[in-house]
Amino acid sequence: MGATTAATASGWLDQIRFDDRGLVTVVAQDAGSGRVLMVAWADREAVAETVATKRAVYWSRSRKRIWRKGEESGHFQAVSEVRLDCDGDVVLYRVRPEGGVACHTGRESCFYRRLEDGQWVVTDKMLDSPEGPSPR
Amino acid sequence: MGATTAATASGWLDQIRFDDRGLVTVVAQDAGSGRVLMVAWADREAVAETVATKRAVYWSRSRKRIWRKGEESGHFQAVSEVRLDCDGDVVLYRVRPEGGVACHTGRESCFYRRLEDGQWVVTDKMLDSPEGPSPR
């Protein structure tokens, strides 16, 4: 991007459009299977730490603090790629989830319900015990 | 889902947690390649019409109205699957994008920028002419 110069080390962060809460929507996708795992939020610090550590970091709205994914569950997410959408207000993390679990319910993906004939049908088994309240 | 009975035809809609604007976040994913194409919003009517017509419908915040994807661009999205996340506030549309374009910039995906060495690098060619302002 032409406007980014080498001199502004965090110029790429300035190109993200954080909302009035200072947050950006993040989609986490499994880099292997391509499955969409979860949608959460991140503040500037969380995105910066994600890129620096190559581990997914979010902002927990329920806990009102930085949320290093896996800090309690052990289900870290190794981040192989970060993408930004056209409007600059959604970030995509491509990840490899440790333990194969992304959802706080103990399932691979948060999108474990599929609409079938007017009913949400659970398609995923629990691979681990639930974590308790959603940390999002 | 035990709480849904056959008698409540739109019980599945009641299980979606629309926010105080009446909107839910929607992720559209290519059902073939698995690529994440775009993130937008939908109101209750948009989700209902998506399911009824099997074509992706959103809510345009900039236009403040229902947004039938492709109504102007021709880039409709045939919806093969709808999923709901654990907290009930994000919906996933699995789609086949007509013309292979989802982004208003004329690219396959809105996530056409990848972070490389502190710069957002454009990875996608324009496959069609841009639509003008983002309809999101």
**Distance, in angstroms, between A114 CA and closest chain B CA?**
4
Q: How do residues A75-97 score in pLDDT, each as one tens digit?
A: 999 999 999 999 999 999 999 99
**Distance, in angstroms, between B35 CA and closest chain A CA?**
7
Query: How many angstroms separate the CA atoms of A22 and B50, rounded?
Result: 31
Query: How many angstroms separate the CA atoms of B22 and B121, rounded?
Result: 35
In the stretch 69-108 of chain B, residues with CB closer than 8 A to chain A read 81-87, 90, 92, 103-105, 107
Res. A10 pLDDT band, cuts 50 70 90? confident
Specify which residues A122 forms β-bridges with. Answer: A113
Residue A15: what residue type? Q
Q: How do residues B56-87 score in pLDDT, each as one tens digit?
A: 999 999 999 999 999 988 999 999 999 999 99
Q: What is the pLDDT of residue A9?
A: 59
**Model confidence at B40: pLDDT above 50:** yes
**Inter-CA distances, A3 with A133, B19, B27, B54, B109, Å:** 42, 36, 29, 41, 22
Query: How many angstroms separate the CA atoms of A13 and A45, rounded?
Result: 10
**Model confidence at A5: pLDDT above 80:** no
**Model confidence at A3: pLDDT above 50:** no
Q: Which residues of A touch B1 (CB under 8 A)?
A: 113, 119-122
Range B33-51 burial, b when 16+ CB lie within 10 A, else e? eebbbbbbbbbbebbbbbb
**Residue of B105, B120, B123 for testing the chain A interface, max A β-carbons within 10 Å:** B120
Q: What is the pLDDT of residue B9?
A: 60
**Model confidence at A6: pLDDT above 50:** no
The answer to whether the Cβ–Cβ distance between B84 and A120 falls below 8 Å is yes
Q: What share of chain A in percent tops pLDDT 70? A: 93
**Model confidence at B91: pLDDT above 90:** yes
Q: What is the pLDDT of residue B7?
A: 41
Q: Mean pLDDT of all residues in chain A?
A: 93
Q: What is the pLDDT of residue A47?
A: 98
